[in-house]
Structure formats: structure tokens, C-alpha cells
A and B are shown apart, each in its own frame.
Chain A
Amino acid sequence: MATSNAGRERILARIRKARGHEASAAGAAEAIFPLIPDPMQRFLAECEANLTRVHRAVSNVQSAAILSQIVSELPAGAIYVEDDPVLRRLCVSIEERKILLSSEGRAPEDCVATLTLCDGLVAQTGSILTSSRHGGRGGSIVAPTHIVYATTDQLLPDVTSALRLAARDTERASYIGLISGSSRTADIEKILVQGAHGPVRVDIILEQR
């Protein structure tokens, strides 16, 4: 590969030659955003605003029933599932469907939905913190529907907290992301349209823990 270090050294030399202004670290970000007195309430409100559907459950059995309900609303086709014991148990409720497990390979082009875990949920923006460990990079983007199974103890107050958690993962995952709603665009006359390229629909099954 043409990794010319001559260019590297010349660029770095020019940078070092330039006189930078005195600059200090930015300091604390706490005063910038309002306090979030009730993170769960805020999370639910943000999800509603960004068109993510949140289904609350109090037990594993109820989560499985919700999954079955969501899947019954989807067109025919395979469901791609992150290979994890918890999700395998949930999938018993959709055994009539063709299930493809992430341990067998990447999410195929024609799967109708994907089911994954996540690393956290963010109250401030109604986001899902995910990474390539959860069904790979495609697990959250390839299918028209992305279903996430999460528990209430995964709720984080804000984006900064999510980034602090993500920082622990940067050695292990090649991709980390915050997903805040379904794929969307407003490129034509600023009119919002869902489902530009990725999921048209994002469902979170949120189990009490």
C-alpha cells in the first residue's frame, strides 16, 4: 500500500511550525443542558418525538409476547437475530418465522427485521447505544424494521454518559453508534420522510429490571 511517510512528515512539520494560540481544555459541560429530573419519562417522550416505538414489559414472558405481536405485523420473510441466549429464548414466541442467527453470518439483504441487544439507552435524546458486537454493523441498519431488546437498568441520562460507557468498548468494537429513531430524510423541500435507506421502523422492547 502506498503509505508515503514523506507527505506525513512534511504535513506534520508545517503544523509544528505554525504558532497555535494558547488554548485550554473546554471544561465541564454540565451547565449546557438542563437537568433531567425523570430520565425514564424523558426517554419515552424523546422516543415518541423521534418516532421510535417503545413497548414496556414487566417480565420475559411479556417481552416474548410483545415480540410476537410486532413480528405478526411484519410482511413474510426471515428475521435476523443476534445470537444471544436471552434473544434465543424470546424467539420461541416467533418460531413459525424463519430465524437467522448472527453466528451463522451477516444480516442478509432481504431479511424483513433484525432483533438485537444494545449497550444502553439515552434519555436526553431517546437514543439506542449500540455497537458491532450486537448483530454486527448490519444488524441495526439493513432491514426495514429494527427491534431492540433492552432493560430499564440500561437507561443512561445523557449523551456524555453514553460516550463514557462507549469509551470502555473502543478496544473491542470496530463500530459504536447512537441510533435516534428511524432512517429519515428532509432533502426534498424540507419535508420529513421516514425510511430513507435504513429501518423505516424502530421498536424497543423495554423490560423492567
Chain B
Amino acid sequence: MSRLAEEFLIAAAQKSADLTHRATIKRNVDSYDTAVAKGKLRFADWEAARTYAARVKGEAVSNLAPLLEEFERKIVARGGHVYWAETADDARQYICDVARKNNVKTVVKSKSMVTEEIHLLPALEKLGIKVWETDLGELIVQLRNEPPYHIVTPAMHLTREQIRDLFQQKLPDDMNGESHQELVAAARRFLRRAFFAAEMGISGANFLVADAGMVAISTNEGNGRLTTSLPRVHVVVTGIEKVIPRLEDLGVLWPVLATSGTGQPITTYSTLIGGPRAEGEVDGPEEFHVVLLDNGRTEVLADEEQQELLRCIRCGACLNKCPVYRSVGGHAFNTTYPGPIGSALTPIVNGMKDWGHLSYACSLCTACDSVCPVKIKLSGHLLENRRKYVSEGDAKTSEKVGFSVFRWATAGPRRFALLGWFGRKITRAALAIGMSPHALGPLASWTKYRAMPDVPKDSFRALWEKNDGNF
């Protein structure tokens, strides 16, 4: 087992046993479920909306090259710069160069998982540049020196009391009470100074619209608007898979994203930005850069089976629905993108040997498939990853042997009966001589938190025949 797999199991076990954590997540997710159920009622046909969204994103994934070129052409025509970054290092280097050339001292950043992916903040801070997260949830986890817990709700794991204590310690001058309203007001006071002082704003993108040549950014707080309006330089960092063909597609994608993300009809600020301040405009940045990031995305694209993962619009619905995510939390995964989408993508992009274990952080309940607004069959991808992990990765010999025996036994009823008979004999004998169930292979994990039931003498088939089907 790899070190990362062991760490995952330890972190997952700890978090699963943390009842305060479970209660916090349950409260958040229950509230989310209620909002989303209500939000879906606003559609005449939610399934038709999913089909539409899946087709738009599927069309885009199949035509990435011409769409990205069209997007680039329009941005450049408006005076913007487009940089194609092959790796996280390339992207970091470019953004650091832009910051250095503009003598940037302070950066405000709107929420972006891609900046987490490329570890941008440490690189800028190494240059002596102060970066402030401006999404409230992101600011909270930044002040705690933690990565985001969730791709939409970064501080989902924290209670108001924990946030109050944090602000009292880190933002004492801006604190004026401890209600939800007063905590938000404290962050507003604190960040307002940052917005007006910053020379550079960094944002992600929810969509890149090819025919309009504009970047679409959705935020409820308006931090995205301020980040992209006030500083002299605006840099967008985004994955190449975010491109969509037409502006009109947002007529469905914006409501679908908002409904799946938070249950809203549409995000409060649904914004399109096409370049720096245009002639005749009173404000806006003087420089505008878009960094188009590959960083393994073309590897996902090259895999014909799994390229549909690039349809993901990062709404977080699969995380909220996943029973494993709801138990072990976002940090146990130790990845930029946690939950089902992260477990499917990370091993392909970062290596099956180190990350293949995440494909097993799944009960195959398929809840993620049913909620994905772009109809990605996540459970199928997790199974596909498991297959690759066994053939290419670090699967244990005992697991390989175990599944070979299981495959042999399930190929015929006699073999299956024989395996059952043998299993019952061995287990009963082992327990009779006082062996602990913890020592018995697959029973070890199961009996860690549960009592071992009595092992019957007879098989289910024998009991069925004996009782004539009556139990």
C-alpha cells in the first residue's frame, strides 16, 4: 500500500469517528438538499436540462482545438493576452512574471480551484507578494492555513463559533459582534481595504465562451466582480476544458450550474469579461491575461473511455451526494478536487500508482451519477480506474489472488457452493479455536466497528430448500 493510501485510510477513519464534524456536514448538506430539490422545480424538465448541458459540454470536449483558438482570437483582438501553460509550473511562472513586471505588492484572488491545483499562492508569496482570498469561505480556510474543504463551499466543515474564534484572533480590528451578519461584515471591512489596494486581481473561470470570446465568472458575493474591476491587472487562470461553443448556451448552463451548486435559480453575479478596459469605458483593468492550463487535461482527453470527465462544471453536486465524502470529509482525500470527481480524475492526472486508492473510496451506490448535471457516469470511471489500478498499479497480491478465486468461483453454481462451504468451515474453525475476526482477512475491517455474527453451518441454498422458501 502506498504512503498516500495509508494516510487516506488514517485520515478517513479519524474523520468518520468525529461526531461534531459529521453533525456540521449533515446540517450543511441537509440544507443544500432542500434548496436543490426546490430549485429543480423551477425547470419544466430537469432531465432535459441535464441532457442539454451534457450535449453542450460533450460538443465542446470533442472540438476543443477550434473552440480554444476562436476564444483566443477574440481575446487578443480586444487587447488581452492568452498564455497556454502545459504544466502547473509554466502557469505559475507566467503569472509570477506578470506580477513582477507590474511591480505588484498585493493581489486579490477570487475563488478558483485551478489556482489551488497549481499551488499559485505559495509561489507569489515567495516573491513577497501578499495574496488575499476574497471569497468568504476561502478567506476563512486561508486564515486557518488549510486547503478548501469543498469545491463550492470551502469552509463547510466549520461552525460559526469556530469562525468567530478565528476572526477574533486574526481580524480583531474589524470584529464588531459574532452573529452570522457581523462575521460577514468583519470580513467585508477587512477585504474592502484589500480590494482597493491591490494592483492585481486573479480569478478562475466557470466557462470560456468561444463565439463571444468572453470569460464567464459566477459569484454570489460579488468578490469576483471587485477582483476583476478594481486592480490594474486581471489574470484569469483556467483549464482548457472550460470552453463552450456559444454565448446562448449559458441560458441553460448558468441555471443548471446554480441549481446543482446551491439550489439558486441563477448565481447573483453572472459575469462575462472579454478583455481590459475598452476605449470610452471609465474603469476596468489596463492589462488582461488568460492562462489556459493543460496540466494533464490532454491526457484525460486522450483516453477515449474517460474523456467525458472533462465535461465537469465543478458544481460540487457529486460531493454533496456522496456517502463517503459525507463521512470522511474533504480534507481526507488530500487532493485539489475531492469526492467522486476528484477520485475519478486525480489518478489519471497524477498517477495511478500513488492515487489509485481513491477509486476505492466509493460504495458504488451511483448517487453521483444521478445528480451530475452533465451526466458523467462517475461510478463507471471509478470502476475503470480500479481495473487500471490492479493491472498497472499497486494492488496487493492477496487482493489479486482473492479476486482470481472469486472470479473462478462465481463462474458456476457448483464452484460457488464449494467456495461457500470452504469459507464457512474455515471461519467456524478459526473462531472455535479463539481466533479474533480481526485476523480473518476481509472480515478485519468490517468487524473493527461491528460485532461478528454467528457463522451458519448451512448455506443459504440449503436453508432455502430445508424451509421450502419460508423464512
Chain A residues within 8 Å of B, Cβ to Cβ: 1-5, 7-8, 10-12, 14-27, 29, 31-35, 46, 50, 102-103, 105-107, 109, 124-125, 127, 132-133, 135-142, 158-160, 162-164, 166-167, 170, 172-191, 193, 195-199
Besides A3-B83, A11-B292, 13 other CB < 8 A contacts? A2-B93, A8-B84, A12-B84, A23-B55, A35-B44, A138-B282, A175-B229, A177-B225, A180-B269, A183-B220, A185-B220, A188-B160, A199-B222
Given contacts A21-B307, A25-B59, A137-B229, contact A174 B184 (CB under 8 A): no
Q: Residues of A contacting B43 with CB < 8 Å? A: 32-34
Task: Please measure, in the bound complex, the distance between the C-alpha atom of A8 and the C-alpha atom of B65, giving whole angstroms.
Answer: 10
Q: Residues of A contacting B226 with CB < 8 Å? A: 141-142, 197-198
Given contacts A184-B221, A184-B268, A187-B137, contact A11 B84 (CB under 8 A): yes
Q: Are A175 and B273 in contact (CB under 8 A)?
A: yes
Q: Which of A18, A32, A50, A160 contacts B268 (CB 8 A)?
A: A50
Task: Please measure, in the bound complex, the distance between the C-alpha atom of A159 and the C-alpha atom of B218, giving whole angstroms.
Answer: 14
Contact flags (1/0) for B81-101 with A, using CB distance below 8 Å?
Answer: 111111000100110011001
Q: Are B247 and A135 in contact (CB under 8 A)?
A: no
Q: Are A23 and B58 in contact (CB under 8 A)?
A: yes
B181 touches A (CB below 8 Å): yes
Chain B residues within 8 Å of A, Cβ to Cβ: 24, 27-28, 31-32, 42-45, 48-49, 52-53, 55-56, 58-59, 61-65, 68-69, 78, 81-86, 90, 93-94, 97-98, 101, 134-137, 140, 153-155, 158-160, 163, 180-181, 183-185, 187-188, 191-192, 195-196, 211-214, 220-223, 225-226, 228-230, 240, 245, 247-252, 254-255, 262, 265-278, 281-284, 288, 292, 294, 298, 301-302, 304, 307-308
Task: From B28, B56, B64, B220, name the one whose CB has the most chain A CB atoms within 10 angstroms.
Answer: B220
Q: Which of B31, B59, B214, B301 contacts A170 (CB 8 A)?
A: B214
Q: Which of A31, A159, A174 contacts B254 (CB 8 A)?
A: A159
Q: Are B270 and A177 in contact (CB under 8 A)?
A: yes
In the A-B complex, list the 4 residue pairs whose CB atoms are closest, starting with the nearest: A198-B222, A160-B251, A20-B62, A196-B221
Q: Are B228 and A179 in contact (CB under 8 A)?
A: no
Task: Please measure, in the bound complex, the distance between the C-alpha atom of A46 and the C-alpha atom of B302, giving whole angstroms.
Answer: 44
Q: Are B62 and A7 in contact (CB under 8 A)?
A: no
Q: Residues of A contacting B275 with CB < 8 Å? A: 174
Q: Are A166 and B247 in contact (CB under 8 A)?
A: yes
Interchain Cβ contacts under 8 Å between A and B, 30 examples: A1-B101, A10-B86, A12-B84, A20-B307, A21-B61, A21-B308, A23-B61, A25-B245, A29-B252, A132-B277, A137-B229, A141-B225, A141-B229, A158-B251, A159-B251, A167-B248, A172-B278, A173-B281, A174-B274, A176-B271, A177-B272, A178-B266, A178-B269, A178-B270, A187-B155, A188-B155, A189-B24, A190-B28, A196-B184, A198-B226
Given contacts A159-B254, A189-B27, contact A174 B159 (CB under 8 A): no
Q: Are B192 and A176 in contact (CB under 8 A)?
A: no
Q: Are A137 and B266 in contact (CB under 8 A)?
A: no
Q: Are B307 and A106 in contact (CB under 8 A)?
A: no
Task: Please measure, in the bound complex, the distance between the C-alpha atom of A132 and the C-alpha atom of B52, giving whole angstroms.
Answer: 30
Q: Which of B65, B225, B276 contacts A15 (CB 8 A)?
A: B65
CB distance from A173 to the nearest CB of B (A): 7
Q: Residues of A contacting B94 with CB < 8 Å? A: 2
Q: Are B44 and A33 in contact (CB under 8 A)?
A: yes
Given contacts A180-B265, A188-B155, contact A1 B84 (CB under 8 A): no
Task: Please measure, in the bound complex, the distance between the C-alpha atom of A24 and the C-alpha atom of B98, giving whole angstroms.
Answer: 39
Task: Please measure, in the bound complex, the distance between the C-alpha atom of A91 and the C-alpha atom of B109, giving whole angstroms.
Answer: 36
Q: Residues of B contacting A178 with CB < 8 Å? A: 254, 266, 269-271
Q: Residues of A contacting B180 with CB < 8 Å? A: 188-189, 191, 193
Q: Are A174 and B160 in contact (CB under 8 A)?
A: no
Task: Please measure, in the bound complex, the distance between the C-alpha atom of A195 and the C-alpha atom of B276, giving whole angstroms.
Answer: 27
Q: Are A138 and B220 in contact (CB under 8 A)?
A: no
Task: Please measure, in the bound complex, the distance between the C-alpha atom of A8 and the C-alpha atom of B73, giving whole angstroms.
Answer: 13
Task: Please measure, in the bound complex, the distance between the C-alpha atom of A20 and the C-alpha atom of B307, giving whole angstroms.
Answer: 8
CB distance from B367 to the nearest CB of A (A): 20
CB distance from B42 to the nearest CB of A (A): 8
Q: Are A24 and B155 in contact (CB under 8 A)?
A: no
Q: Residues of A contacting B28 with CB < 8 Å? A: 189-190
Q: Are B254 and A137 in contact (CB under 8 A)?
A: no
Q: Are B44 and A34 in contact (CB under 8 A)?
A: yes
Q: Residues of B contacting A31 with CB < 8 Å? A: 44-45, 48
CB distance from A171 to the nearest CB of B (A): 8
Task: Please measure, in the bound complex, the distance between the C-alpha atom of A35 and the C-alpha atom of B269, giving whole angstroms.
Answer: 24
Task: Please measure, in the bound complex, the distance between the C-alpha atom of A121 and the C-alpha atom of B460, giving whole angstroms.
Answer: 66
Q: Residues of B contacting A142 with CB < 8 Å? A: 226, 229
Q: Are B307 and A138 in contact (CB under 8 A)?
A: no
Task: Please measure, in the bound complex, the distance between the C-alpha atom of A176 and the C-alpha atom of B163, giving whole angstroms.
Answer: 35
Task: Please measure, in the bound complex, the distance between the C-alpha atom of A14 and the C-alpha atom of B87, giving whole angstroms.
Answer: 14
Q: Are B163 and A188 in contact (CB under 8 A)?
A: yes
CB distance from B305 to the nearest CB of A (A): 10
Q: Are B212 and A15 in contact (CB under 8 A)?
A: no
Q: Considering only CB atoms, which chain A residue lies closest to B196 in the complex?
A: A109
Q: Are B255 and A159 in contact (CB under 8 A)?
A: yes
Q: Are B153 and A173 in contact (CB under 8 A)?
A: no
Q: Residues of B contacting A166 with CB < 8 Å? A: 247, 272
Task: Please measure, in the bound complex, the distance between the C-alpha atom of A1 and the C-alpha atom of B99, giving whole angstroms.
Answer: 11
